[in-house]
Amino acid sequence: MILSLYGFSFVFNFVWESVHAVYLYQGHDLNARIYVPMVVYVSTLDGILIISVYLLVSLLLRDILWLRDLRRTPICLFLLIGLVTSATVEYVSVHILSRWTYLHAMPTLFGIGLSPLFQLPVTGLFSVRITQKLLFCKCLSEV
């Protein structure tokens, strides 16, 4: 289950990063030798963060398989923790460590880019939902 969740997280984040990095961050270009390894690296980290958020929700709910029957409380916890994680990582990376800067095209909220702010919760929720459907869907057993 964790591998499935990680795999979907990696793919969704790879697509998200590929689209927004060039258009919303300064210093990125389409030099494949630099760009592709960078996107693979950050997508790997995003996948690890999503697994961490999932495991934290599991710990809080005392149920590692909470995605089996998605309900409002675990989804809200997942989205909230994902949003706080994104905001923290982005704020520290941009305003404290100066790892990257935004282009003027990046919409911001309190100095944090909206695209990276919502990336982790959105890609994480999609990954959780697809993993749930793949592993726990009764569709095939009803045929």
Structural domain boundaries in the chain: 2-138
Task: Say what the pTM is.
Answer: 0.89
127 and 8 in contact (C-beta within 8 Å)? yes
Strand partners, 113: 108
Q: In whole angstroms, what is the distance from residue 142 CA to residue 64 CA?
A: 26
- Please list the pLDDT of the chain residue by residue as tens digits (143 residues): 899 999 999 999 999 998 877 666 666 666 778 778 888 999 999 999 999 999 999 999 999 999 998 899 999 999 999 999 999 999 999 999 998 888 888 899 999 999 999 999 999 999 999 999 999 886 555 54
Closest CA to 115 of 22, 50, 36, 11: 22
Closest CA to 78 of 114, 41, 132: 132
Residue located via tokens 């990276």: 116
